[in-house]
Every structure is written in structure tokens, then in C-alpha cells.
Amino acid sequence: MPAPLDRVLAGLPGIRQDAEDLYKDLHAHPELGNDEHRTAARAAELLRGYGYEVTESIGTTGVVGVLANGDGPTVLLRADMDALPVREDTGLPYASTATVTGDDGDEQPVMHACGHDVHVTCMLGFARLMASAGDAWSGTLVTLFQPSEEKADGADGMVEDGLTDRVPRPDVALAQHVLPYPAGYVGVRRGSFLSAADSLRVTLYGRGAHGSMPQAGVDPVVLAAMCVVRLQTIVSRELAATTPAVLTVGSIRAGASPNVIPDTAVMELNVRTYDDATRRQVLDAVRRCVDAEAKASNAPRQPLVERLNAFPPTVNDDEVADRLDRAFRDHFGDDAHTIGLQTASEDFSRIPEAFGAPFAYWGIGGIDPDTYRAAAERGTVAQDIPVNHSPAFAPVIQPTLDTGITALAVAALAWLGADA
């Protein structure tokens, strides 16, 4: 009798066309975070059709499909559903032309520029294969479709809406992301995988004055400049060379006229770290630096530091990662890799943490392998391969979808397979 994985994957050729059609449809109909009504409805409808018990509208648009299939562990696999306010520039026949009206009344373009349509498609294809091969595995399968990953509030939203009481507690939680590697590539790693990302808005208070009379004011532009300069020293002097971290001041705004000293300056900054101790250390140092620079400027008030959003670090459980690594290497051979540390961020970990379950996360490639290889040979990968969030990010449909569906199956069966 064939191995469980072979029995599950035997169904793949039969669902491939449906998967590709679904992908094109999702890609052409992207929805912003917490607004994924069409996508969620589609997922719920298909899951029900496959025989899953479905719960909808967890958090905002979250969907969970559960397939109980005898004794054995419970495995949760998660796909995120939201798209981005990016104007698609891929030239694909199924490119998005969608727009939504933003809070400010402006039309915003919407695009699946991060590949969550790949994630949803693969999860549904995988769910279908597993439902069709119930004799190949034993245990409980939980497929979770999460809203609003990009805004870092979708996982928390599901948890706050009672997720842990509404679905079985998993023994392990898993997730994958399409990344700018060659399609066919699968990569996992132990420990730190994705960075924590914290975005802060810092409002620096000066005191306005005519530009010719600095002595009558407190110049918030000079204060902001000193803060930007000072913040560089956190990475350069307060962290070990081997502790990776990034602190970027992405935005700075002050004043409207060359000749008027404004009252305030506003900086928005982003901090990336890979463990909680470093994260805490850097955030504390930001606070310390801006407070002290404000004092040095004799500012009338201490800076206001507001949290804009906060992604946790994604730190794979070593044992889960090792089990995935072995399973991937067994199945994918040379296409299975130890992936490098990524500077991107995710909120997936909030879900297993809510359950107290170990978890791991892996990456699959989405770039045409020939294109990638040519760029690699030219040494121009960084310049030539569009990355996630780019208007030109365009995963090739195959072997991306096959790889994503297969990787989910390989991963799930590492726990649920009869020989697991």
C-alpha cells in the first residue's frame, strides 16, 4: 500500500485546474484587511463542500474549517487572506483593477502584492486532497483563513473573538508564505525566522517662532535631526554585532514654510528585531533617546510615542522545524533548503501562542526558475526579481501552486500520516 503522502498527492492532478482557476479569480479580486468578505465566503463555501465543519466571521472575516478524522493529533494550518493598497503593474491577464474608497474619500488601488492569494488557493487545494484521502491519515485537521495579516491585527482579532474556544486546540500549528525564491523551492529553519516589527510615531514638541528669532522658540526640526542621528547609535553601539536589528526612521515631517519655526515634528519609525529581549531593549532605548534629546533641546514637553502597529517575532519551534525539515528533504530532495533569516514580519504566531501550541513557518518560492537562475548568474537578483509588496510581484502559477499544496500535505502528514 502506498505511503500516506502518495495517497494524498494522488489527487493533485485532478484538482490542479480548479486550483489555478481559483487562484486567478482571487488574484483579480483582492480585498484589504478585515474586508475579505468575498474571499472568506469562497473559502467557507468550498470547505463545506469538501465536508469540513466551518465557522465563519471569527474576528472580522476569519474562517476555520475542521475535519475530524479519527484518533490522532490535531494540526492547525493557516492561510492569510488580505491584499494591499498597491496598484498592480504586472501586465498579467488576471491582474487586479480593483479599487476601494479609503477613509479619506480617495480611491485606493488593491492588489494581492504579497501572495496571500497563493496561500488561500493552496490551503483550499490541500483541504480538498485531505478530505478525499481520509484513509491516508488520522487525527483532526484545522484549516484557518485569517484576515488582515498586513495590518498586524487579524490574528489578534480572531483570538479576541474567542478562537481558542471555538476550534479544537492544535498540537502543532503551521503556516507557509510565498517568497521571492525559485518556484519549487521549500525552506524552513530552526528558531528565528521572521523579525518582530514595531512601528512607532514620535511627536516631538518644540515651540514655534518666526524663523528669524530662534531664541524665541525651541526648534523641533533640529530636535528631530538630533533624534535621527542619536537613534543610529542604538544599532551601532547598544547591540552586539551578532544581534540582528534594524531601526529605520521612514518618515519625518515638520513645518510648512522655510521661514517659520514650527511647533512640532513627527517621526515615524520601524524597529525590527528577532527576539523579545532585543525588542524590548531597542524600544526602551528609542524612548530613552528621544526623551533625552528633548531635554537637551529644552523642549516644553516630553515626546509623545505612539505604537502604530506591532508584529511579534516569528520564532520556529526547533522540534517542529526539524520534523518539517526532515519531511521536506525526504519529499522535495534538493529543492528543500534551510532558509535564511528573513527581515519580513507576520502575526501568525499570535494564533499558536493563544493555544499554547508549538509552531513552525516555512517559505515556498514563487519566481519562474529560469528567470531566477538567469538573474542569479548575472548577480542581479536584488535588482531584477520583484519582491513581495512590489507592484510587479507576480508568482508563476506553476510549479508554485503544486509546491504550496504539496508542502502543506507533507507538513500535515508529518503529524497526521499513519506512519508519522
Site for a copy of itself in 333-372 (CB under 8 A): 340-341, 343-344
CB atoms near residue 217 (< 10 Å): 18
Site for a copy of itself in 198-257 (CB under 8 A): 199-201, 210-216, 219, 221-222, 224-230, 232-257
| 289 in a labelled binding site | no
Write the DSSP string, 255-293.
Answer: -SSTTEE-SEEEEEEEEEESSHHHHHHHHHHHHHHHHHH
Does 189 sit near a copy of itself (CB under 8 A)?
Answer: no
Nearest to 357 by CA among 152, 169, 161: 169
Stretch that binds a copy of itself, among 22-30, 53-61, 71-79, 193-201 (CB under 8 A): 193-201
Q: State the minimum distance, in angstroms, from the CB of residue 170 to a copy of itself.
A: 29
| 29 in a labelled binding site | no
Q: State the minimum distance, in angstroms, from the CB of residue 51 to a copy of itself.
A: 41
Q: Please tell me whether residue 244 adopts helix, strand or coil conformation.
A: coil
**DSSP strand pairing (172-182 vs 359-367):** parallel
Listed in sequence order, the residues at least 6 apart from 117 whose beta carbon sits closer than 8 Å to its beta carbon are 23, 26, 27, 30, 83
Q: What are phi and psi of 288, to 5 degrees?
A: -60, -45
CB atoms near residue 295 (< 10 Å): 10
- Name the residue nearer to a copy of itself (CB basis): 101 or 259: 259
Stretch that binds a copy of itself, among 12-20, 40-48, 259-267, 330-338 (CB under 8 A): 259-267
Q: What are phi and psi of 32, to 5 degrees?
A: -75, 165
Q: Please tell me whether residue 139 adopts helix, strand or coil conformation.
A: strand
- Name the residue nearer to a copy of itself (CB basis): 267 or 414: 267
- Name the residue nearer to a copy of itself (CB basis): 45 or 318: 318
**How far, in Å, are 85, 144, 211, 289 from residue 133 at the CA level?**
39, 20, 75, 58
Q: State the minimum distance, in angstroms, from the CB of residue 96 to a copy of itself.
A: 21
Q: State the minimum distance, in angstroms, from the CB of residue 221 to a copy of itself.
A: 5
What is the contact mask toward a copy of itself in residues 135 to 174, using x (rule: CB under 8 A)? ----------------------------------------
- Name the residue nearer to a copy of itself (CB basis): 95 or 252: 252
Nearest to 361 by CA among 296, 305, 418, 311: 311
Site for a copy of itself in 50-79 (CB under 8 A): none
Interatomic CA distance for residues 337 and 186, integer angstroms: 6
Q: State the minimum distance, in angstroms, from the CB of residue 93 to a copy of itself.
A: 28
Q: State the minimum distance, in angstroms, from the CB of residue 304 to a copy of itself.
A: 15
Stretch that binds a copy of itself, among 41-49, 258-266, 326-334, 354-362 (CB under 8 A): 258-266
CB atoms near residue 233 (< 10 Å): 12
Does 379 sit near a copy of itself (CB under 8 A)?
Answer: no
CA dihedral over 9, 15, 17, 18, signed as positive or negative: negative
Write the single-letter amino acid at 257.
S
Site for a copy of itself in 275-314 (CB under 8 A): 285, 288-289, 291-293, 295-298, 308
| 112 in a labelled binding site | no
Residues within the annotated binding site for Mn(2+)? 114, 116, 150, 177
Residues within the annotated binding site? 114, 116, 150, 177
